[in-house]
Amino acid sequence: MQSFGSGKSATENIRTIEPCELLAIDRESFQALMETVPQFDLVYKQILEASYANSVYRVNTFVSLTALERIQWLMEYRPMLMTRLSSKLIASYLGINKDVFSRLKAKL
């Protein structure tokens, strides 16, 4: 988002873990779309608000949880991730060491 808004090089990137289709739009075309299609502007803002709320929730929740509680949270609220992702990716998502993740998961 920062790179798209500022035009500067991104400091982050996205890596897919499953086959996907990437859609891209340049800043000028995006602005034209926002101005000419009011529904797009509305949906875009709704997506941004939901994404922000989800990010804040995740950060605030994970800060207060132990590693075991994070794993339990993931199993309850995002169970499909447990079957689709490697232990290394799940541990990274939860902010814990892969070995700690494997050890705690085995206890459940």
99 found inside a domain: yes
pLDDT (tens digit, 9 = 90+) per residue, 44-56? Answer: 999 999 999 988 9
Are the CB atoms for 45 and 52 separated by under 8 Å?
Answer: no
pTM here is 0.67
Q: Output the pLDDT for position 80.
A: 92
36 found inside a domain: no
4 found inside a domain: no
Q: Output the pLDDT for position 19.
A: 92
Q: Over pLDDT 70: what percentage of the chain?
A: 100
pLDDT exceeds 90 at position 39: yes
The count of structural domains within the chain is: 1
Q: Of 108, 57, 63, whose CA–CA distance to 82 is shortest?
A: 108
38 found inside a domain: no
Segments forming the whole domain that contains residue 106: 67-108
- Tokens 């991104």, residue located: 10
pLDDT exceeds 80 at position 83: yes
22 found inside a domain: no
